[in-house]
Structure formats: structure tokens, C-alpha cells
């Protein structure tokens, strides 16, 4: 019993002491040269889902547009541009618009040139024939025999809300043309 009490007192004495750091220590430096081999990541086979793409037949409403075209022999303007030291190539310059409400007429009125750019200026005019709920595509074209030049289309008239019409710049009148276009040289006019 005396030994047990002595051990308890010794433990209490040891645990009740206060330890302060007098001086900082440091770990020894170790120089280790290790040879290793490349490891390999584990491979996983994950089954997520089977996906099958098939078709089925259903009755749906599909809009239909009937387009009737006929070949006719017409006179087409040909613009021939010579630039010193450059080869020419033939190409058709086509402008088209998709309209609804009433029939329209689309005509290339002028071609203007500045630097290496051609401005093709067309007019889109409303006519009187009612189209009801139908849409109509109108177009005009000229033939160009010239070196490779950038072509910018400008249509004077009201822009219809159709995707095909987004590829052109629309203005309400010739007076709204940019100064660069207004000052460009007119190389073709249908008037």
C-alpha cells in the first residue's frame, strides 16, 4: 500500500510540473538519394448508362413553301474590272430577300467601288399583290469579271424579319449610306 501511495505521489508531482522552452532546437539535415520507378494509376471501368438513338414516326405539322421557278432568257449586266497585274475571275453577284405580306421587287441599282471593296446597292420595293400568309423570295443578280474583291450588300428598303435577310445591311434611303459608301466611285448604275 505504501508503494501505491508513493507511486501516486510521484505521478502527481511529475504531472504538476511546468515545462518552459529555454532554447530552440532544430532537426538534423539528412541527404538521402532515392531511386524510384514510375507508378501506375489504377484503371476503372465505369458503367454509366446505355444510350440508344432510334427514330419513330409521328404526325406533326410541317410548314410547306411552294416555290416555282422557271428558266427564262434575260439580259444580265456584266461588270468588267481591270486592275493592273491582277487576274480576273468570273462570278455571279446575287442579292435576295424573303418577304411576306405583299409581293416585292428587288433590283440591283448601283455598284460602287473603293479600294478593294465593292458596294452592291439594291432597292426592295413593295408591290400591290397580296401574299396572304405566304412568303416569297425575290432576287436579282449581275455578272462580275474582276479580281477577287470584297462584296458588301446594302439594301434600300424595309427589312423583313427572316433569317435570310440578316446577311445584308438595310437602310431606309440612299441618304443614310455611310460617307465611305457615298464617296465611293459608281462603276455601275441601272438608270
pLDDT in tens, 2-28: 666 656 655 655 555 555 666 777 777
Please state, in angstroms and rounded to a whole number, the distance separating the CA atoms of residues 135 and 68. 12
Can you tell me the distance from the alpha carbon of 13 to that of 136, in angstroms, rounded to the nearest whole number? 105
Q: What is the pTM of this model?
A: 0.62
Q: What is the domain partition of the chain in residue ranges?
A: 95-189
- Residue-wise pLDDT for 155-189, tens only, equals 999 887 766 778 889 999 999 999 999 999 998 88
The rounded distance, in Å, linking the Cα atoms of 122 and 157 is 9
pLDDT, position 18 = 58
Measure the CA angle with vertex 62, ends 57 and 66; round to 5°: 130
In tens, the pLDDT along 31-54 reads 667 677 777 777 766 565 555 556
Nearest to 119 by CA among 127, 111, 130: 111
pLDDT digits (tens, 9 = 90+) for 38-97: 777 777 665 655 555 565 666 766 555 555 667 778 788 888 888 888 898 998 899 998
Amino acid at each position: 500500500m505504501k508503494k501505491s501511495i508513493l507511486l501516486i505521489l510521484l505521478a502527481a508531482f511529475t504531472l504538476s510540473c511546468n515545462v518552459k522552452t529555454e532554447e530552440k532546437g532544430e532537426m538534423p539535415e539528412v541527404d538521402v538519394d532515392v531511386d524510384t520507378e514510375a507508378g501506375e494509376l489504377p484503371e476503372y471501368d465505369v458503367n454509366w448508362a446505355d444510350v440508344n438513338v432510334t427514330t419513330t414516326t409521328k404526325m406533326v405539322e410541317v410548314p410547306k413553301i411552294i416555290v416555282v421557278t422557271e428558266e427564262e432568257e434575260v439580259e444580265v449586266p456584266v461588270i468588267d474590272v481591270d486592275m493592273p497585274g491582277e487576274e480576273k475571275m468570273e462570278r455571279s453577284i446575287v442579292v435576295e430577300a424573303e418577304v411576306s405580306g405583299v409581293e416585292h421587287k428587288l433590283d440591283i441599282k448601283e455598284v460602287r467601288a473603293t479600294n478593294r471593296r465593292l458596294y452592291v446597292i439594291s432597292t426592295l420595293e413593295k408591290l400591290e399583290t397580296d401574299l396572304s400568309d405566304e412568303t416569297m423570295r425575290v432576287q436579282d443578280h449581275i455578272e462580275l469579271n474582276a479580281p477577287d474583291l470584297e462584296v458588301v450588300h446594302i439594301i434600300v428598303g424595309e427589312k423583313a424579319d427572316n433569317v435570310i435577310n440578316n446577311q445584308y445591311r438595310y437602310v431606309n434611303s440612299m441618304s443614310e449610306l455611310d460617307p465611305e459608301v457615298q464617296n465611293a466611285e459608281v462603276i455601275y448604275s441601272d438608270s
